Amino acid sequence: MPELPELQALCEALTDEVSGRRVESAVAVHPAVLRTAEPPLTALEGAALTAVNRRGKLLLVQSDRGVSLVVHLMSAGRMGLRDVERARGRQTLLRLELEDGRALALRELGTKRRASAHLLDDEALGEHPPLARLGPEPIGLEADEWRRALEHPRARLHTALRDGRRVAGIGRCYASEIMWAARLAPFTMTTGLSDDGWTRLASAADAVLGQAVARAREIGGVDMPQREKRTTAVHGHAGEPCLRCGAELARVSFAEYELVYCPDCQNDGRRYADRRFSRLTR
């Protein structure tokens, strides 16, 4: 799933490439991808794109017509700038064909159609629920701001970190990386974190996300790959030795993903039972 670091680097690269380019054709290939009717997608035709920005895990393609395309990638959506012929592939859901022979295309991997787009004017943009409900951006938050964002309502830490209404832009991968860097147990309740725990969380989030954004910028590119090129300490490394203490990394499997952590570094040597609603093993 695309998360804050990859999306931030993508938006910066796309803005450099598409700013000032006019849209010659705006096409919703899949009938269900565009979730708004007014203004019509054709309102973008003839408009010059001004920027591609990010808020949380949402992408905002902005234009000089006072309308913006808000893209919800969900788990398998991808956004990128391609030559027009390549952008007309079978995975493409929506494309904006530009005057330079390239197209800004929204595509989705696999067969499920969860990605979506909303074309909104400036007034509607400010009231768009997925945007309006987002919490603060995580980079630069102080410990007390993290506490206010996550502590209530009470939840497991790994769940709260991924809740965009609490803090925006963090998904499965970087939630695990931040908890590992902060030496925090994933199933710790947010009401149970100490002052030191919140301080470690704030420091770890800045370090993990800041480094990931820098790596994503180095990789560059204006088209999201099929699979993100990430460097991770725990995510995707279950069964391997912990880079910090050497203990075997453990997993908890859920319906569509797995959570990886170090029992020794993060949970005082205890392992969680690997089942859907996990509890500490006795």
Beta bridge partners of 61: 52, 69
Give residue 54's identity as a one-letter amino acid code: R
SS3 at position 123: helix
DSSP secondary structure of 18-67: HTTPBEEEEEE-STTTB---SS-GGGGTTPBEEEEEEETTEEEEEETTSE
**pLDDT higher than threshold 90 for residue 280:** no
* The pair of three-digit structure tokens given for residue 52, joined into one six-digit string: 């591609």
Q: Tell which residue, 185, 173, 158, has the closest CA to residue 234.
A: 173
Q: Tell which residue, 191, 173, 178, has the closest CA to residue 139.
A: 178
**pLDDT higher than threshold 50 for residue 281:** no
**pLDDT higher than threshold 60 for residue 118:** yes
Total count of residues recorded for the chain: 282
Comparing 90-99, 107-116, 262-271, the range with the smallest average pLDDT is 107-116
Give residue-wise pLDDT tens across range 216-250: 999 989 998 766 778 999 999 999 999 999 999 99
High-pLDDT (> 90) share of the chain, %? 87
CA separation for the pair 282, 274 (Å, rounded)? 13
CATH numbers and ranges of domains, the chain: 4-132 (3.20.190.10), 143-267 (1.10.8.50)
Asked whether the whole model's pTM tops 0.75, one would answer yes
Give residue-wise pLDDT tens across range 40-96: 999 999 999 999 999 999 999 999 999 999 999 998 999 999 999 999 999 999 999
Give residue-wise pLDDT tens across range 85-100: 999 999 999 999 999 9
pLDDT of amino acid 226: 64
* The pair of three-digit structure tokens given for residue 269, joined into one six-digit string: 């040597």
pLDDT of amino acid 277: 47
